[in-house]
Amino acid sequence: MTCTANVRGQSLSASTTFDVFRPTGGIVTYTNSVTVDSNYHLGLSLHFGTASPAEASGILWSNIPPISLPPGVSGRVEWVQIMDLGTNFLWSPYDVLITNRFGYDPPNYPVLESWGGDSPGTKLANFTFIYRNDNFSLWLMFRPSNAGAIPVPLRKLTWGWEGTATNSAGTWTGGGRAWVSPAVDTLVHPTWTKNRASY
């Protein structure tokens, strides 16, 4: 920082350097499989994650290693997730329905725990073919305990999944895949213009 002042017609300046510390932390993820069956909270579905055992998430994330705080700083972890793009392609003999969703992912965010997860899926109905593709951005945030403090971004990753399901003579088959990018340090805050609509 540099400070300059005029004193009795003479310009004086002084400079100094401040070391600004920020919390550090990591994100570890675990992923499940993409399947077509009834082991899902909606029943028979194309889904990423299961209802049993113990509602195993399609993706589970955790703050590992835990956030390291500078001396004298306290606060809490927050997670924010944005759906960058979600596509549902539903095909029947008479209709094609394509739905696109994006935006802030309520009502489960921000998550105020050291871990979180997500298990998206599509209930299978009167269609012959279903394709779903979702892409998300996830932020690890830290909110200082000071009054009026706002959460600041520490780490970010992107993840997604896609899958297909085909109905042949009343029998559904299918599967898919998921992907997770490495988490990176970030100073960029999450932004959005709308809330994601559920489907």
Which pLDDT does position 111 carry in this prediction?
Answer: 67
Query: Residue 108: is its pLDDT beyond 60?
Result: no
Block residue for tokens 């069956």: 37
Query: Residue 162: is its pLDDT beyond 90?
Result: yes
Which pLDDT does position 166 carry in this prediction?
Answer: 94
- Strand 115-118 to 59-62 pairing: antiparallel
CB of 73 closer than 8 Å to CB of 32: no
Is 17 or 197 the better-scoring residue by pLDDT? 17
Average pLDDT, the chain: 84
Which pLDDT does position 163 carry in this prediction?
Answer: 94
Query: Residue 199: is its pLDDT beyond 50?
Result: no
Is 21 or 83 the better-scoring residue by pLDDT? 83
Which pLDDT does position 67 carry in this prediction?
Answer: 82
- Mean per-residue pLDDT for 3-27? 80
- Mean per-residue pLDDT for 67-89? 84
pTM: 0.81
Q: How many CA atoms lie within 13 A of 53 on its CB side?
A: 0
Which pLDDT does position 105 carry in this prediction?
Answer: 67
CB of 160 closer than 8 Å to CB of 175: no
Beta bridge partners of 153: 141
- Mean per-residue pLDDT for 34-44? 92
Task: Convert 51-67 to b/e letters by CB count within 10 Å (16 or more is b).
Answer: beeeebbbbbbbbeeeb
Which pLDDT does position 106 carry in this prediction?
Answer: 58
Q: Tens of pLDDT along 118-146? A: 899 989 887 889 898 989 999 999 988 98
- Mean per-residue pLDDT for 54-68? 82
Is 112 or 164 the better-scoring residue by pLDDT? 164
Percent of the chain with pLDDT over 90: 35
- Mean per-residue pLDDT for 175-185? 96
Which pLDDT does position 54 carry in this prediction?
Answer: 58
Which pLDDT does position 160 carry in this prediction?
Answer: 94
